[in-house]
Structure 1
Amino acid sequence: MEISNHSVYRIEPLYKSFVWAGHKLIDRFGLKTDLENVGTIYSVLALPGELDNPVTGTGMTLSELYQTHRELFGCSDEVFPVRMTITCNEGFQSYQSHPGDEYAMAHEGCRGKVSGAITLDESDEKGMWLFGHKPMDAKEFRRCIDEKDWDALFTKLEVKDGDFVHTPAGVIHGGWGSGKVSATFGTNSDITYRFYDNDRNDPARPLSIDDVCACASFPELPFKAERPEGVKKDGVTRFVYHDVPGEYVALRYKVDGEASFEHDSFLFVTCVGGSGTVCGEAISLGETLFIPVGYGPLELSGKMDCIAISYHEKKECAE
């Protein structure tokens, strides 16, 4: 197919099994897979040689499309910047954190990971997440981990179904999943540092306690659960969950009719409920479409629920 800013591209999803995963994603999205369970649907991810979404009709993966046709993205970043997934944690995930860019580049040779998540099904149900830490210095932080003193280590965050929670780099989180299906948005990285894994002692899931301690902040970085107001335009309500240059732009569109929206950067749109069209292209449950920068307005129609991710480059301050 001809590569052009005036074309819409279909992104093929990737699936991954995890020890904490179950069958909910397979059932909800009608996944055709030989995997016994699926913990994550990777809708947008570009990690060469690892998890790299194919782009239908181009013979390229997403990372290859980014490297060879940067004009579609309008970015000067060396590597593709963002990721978007659908996840369902039905078991004990791990206690973990993710490094920031500086630490990850020095120790892993890649970008760090900041991310955010929302449960797709909204309700009045509230849960308590283990999220962030209490210790005010590194010595106490390490003691809590070594002695598995989780009550002294973790703070708890009350989250209502449908709330958005952004996870800054270095913030500890994890544990038992609630079996809820969530959308996650973040930077294009898959670096996870675990400091407790339910005593599984699995060589494929190593602990990285020193790295977790090195990435922690004292005092803890600020975070909170948020529920932004949607902006309705004709038959579509648009939600902006997060928009920080150099990180990611997290969006949601609840469509019951039609509307168009201007956008100044590329967009990846994934249907997580119902069906309809995006810029004239049909989209149904679990499918993802890529709209290049400069394509024109984002046109949505049908009866569907869509998540989307975009990106704004971080502007360097003049000295």
Structure 2
Amino acid sequence: MKRIYHIEPMYKSFIWAGRKLIDRFGIDTDLPNVGTIYCVIALPGELDNIVRETGEPLSAFYASNRELFACSDEVFPVRMTITCNEGFQSYQLHPDDAYALAHEGCRGKVSGAVTLDDEGHVGTWLFGHKVASLEEFKDCVERRDWNRLFDTLTVHDGDFVHTPAGVIHGGNGAGAVSATFGTNGDITYRFFDNDRDDPTRPLALDDVYACVHFPEVPFRAEPPHPVQVPGMKLITYHDVDGEYVALRMKVEGETSFGYDSFLFITCVAGAGSVGGTPIGLGETLLVPAGFGSFELQGDMDCIAISYHAKEA
């Protein structure tokens, strides 16, 4: 008999973080700030959620309970976080799987983000580059000519922005609380970090130069396309085999939902229940693959992540 599991969150302090997440989610922590709530991640010995019912790290739970995931990937495939950038992050990119596996021994990272609050804000993000060659890219970095280097992206509250591997991004955060979805990796290559002297945040210029695209790959801010079903507004932000499936469920009352693959669900506002299991603010539940249709009840806003393996 399949059951629903609780996934314990992890919290991490960052130089660019503040206390918004602590206050919003009522986090009990000794950390001076929290930049990211790791709702779902499985990097052994580094960032690895605990499964409450078994006491195992998520990576080990995945390895010993593959039938609950119905996934052919040998390594746990996805991650989901809640993030709030209240300062200057860095200028950076993430490698693809091939480069990360060859140089870091782990997966790379593709990801996407959406603000959790729709307050009508319109922002201009530094996102992607607009130079024609690696030589010009290096010259911009050496001269810190960010206006010549960076492209920009206009993003409205509620837009979903998918970040392919190798796309440069970063800089000043607006303090928005966002949900982020992606592959189960945490490799960041920085090429400018606001002149901080922090050995835990090294620059990696050679890796950046090896991973950046010429020309830059396409990207865009995608407005949400909610589907109204009885008792719930469902949004599918992203669904690409070998990457991740990103969903949002705005539940008002009661509804039934079914999904063939595994599904991690995090409550980001309100409270309710999933398949009869209570879920509160900031809590994450795992609904195993093949669980069948289940009830969602309450007045709550949830984000969810799943995965479909890429066919060989």
Q: TM-score, normalised by structure 2?
A: 0.99
* 2:255 alignment counterpart: 259
Q: Which runs of 5+ in 1 are unaligned?
A: none
* 1:45 alignment counterpart: 41
Match of 2:147, SS state, is helix
After TM superposition, give the deviation of residue 125 of structure 1 in Å. Answer: 1.4
* Structure 2: distance between partners of 1:78 and 1:146: 41
2:77 counterpart of 1:70? no
Query: Quick check: 2:158–2:224 contact (8 Å CA) kept in 1?
Result: no
2:295 corresponds to which of 289, 299, 316: 299
* 1:238 alignment counterpart: 234
Distance 1:182-1:139 versus aligned 2 partners, 3 A rule: same
Match of 2:215, SS state, is coil
Q: Which runs of 5+ in 2 are unaligned?
A: none
Query: Quick check: 2:246–2:305 contact (8 Å CA) kept in 1?
Result: yes
2:186 corresponds to which of 190, 198, 221: 190
* 1:33 alignment counterpart: 29
Match of 1:165, SS state, is strand
Distance 1:8-1:100 versus aligned 2 partners, 3 A rule: same
After TM superposition, give the deviation of residue 229 of structure 1 in Å. Answer: 1.2
* Structure 2: distance between partners of 1:220 and 1:18: 28
Query: Quick check: 2:126–2:152 contact (8 Å CA) kept in 1?
Result: yes
Q: Kindly provide the amino acid, as one letter, of the partner of residue 14 in structure 2.
A: F
Q: Kindly provide the amino acid, as one letter, of the partner of residue 164 in structure 2.
A: P
Match of 1:145, SS state, is helix
1:97 corresponds to which of 80, 87, 93: 93
After TM superposition, give the deviation of residue 269 of structure 1 in Å. Answer: 0.1
1:24 corresponds to which of 20, 27, 33: 20
2:153 counterpart of 1:178? no
After TM superposition, give the deviation of residue 261 of structure 1 in Å. Answer: 1.9
After TM superposition, give the deviation of residue 122 of structure 1 in Å. Answer: 0.9
Question: How many positions carry a matched residue from both structures?
Answer: 312
* Structure 1: distance between partners of 2:246 and 2:23: 25
2:130 counterpart of 1:134? yes
2:152 counterpart of 1:156? yes
2:229 counterpart of 1:226? no
Query: Quick check: 2:126–2:170 contact (8 Å CA) kept in 1?
Result: yes
% identical aligned pairs: 67
After TM superposition, give the deviation of residue 105 of structure 1 in Å. Answer: 0.7
Q: Kindly provide the amino acid, as one letter, of the partner of residue 106 in structure 2.
A: C
Q: TM-score, normalised by structure 1?
A: 0.97
Q: Kindly provide the amino acid, as one letter, of the partner of residue 127 in structure 1.
A: G
C-alpha root-mean-square deviation of aligned residues, in Å? 0.8
Q: Kindly provide the amino acid, as one letter, of the partner of residue 276 in structure 2.
A: G
Match of 1:159, SS state, is strand
Q: Kindly provide the amino acid, as one letter, of the partner of residue 80 in structure 1.
A: F
1:34-83: per-residue Cα shift (whole Å, max 9, x none)? 11100000000000001100000202110011001100001111100000
Q: Kindly provide the amino acid, as one letter, of the partner of residue 18 in structure 1.
A: F
* Structure 2: distance between partners of 1:210 and 1:262: 46
Match of 1:211, SS state, is helix
After TM superposition, give the deviation of residue 290 of structure 1 in Å. Answer: 0.2
* 2:213 alignment counterpart: 217
Match of 1:65, SS state, is helix
1:192-234: per-residue Cα shift (whole Å, max 9, x none)? 0000000002111000011111111111100000013111111
Query: Quick check: 1:123–1:160 contact (8 Å CA) kept in 2?
Result: no
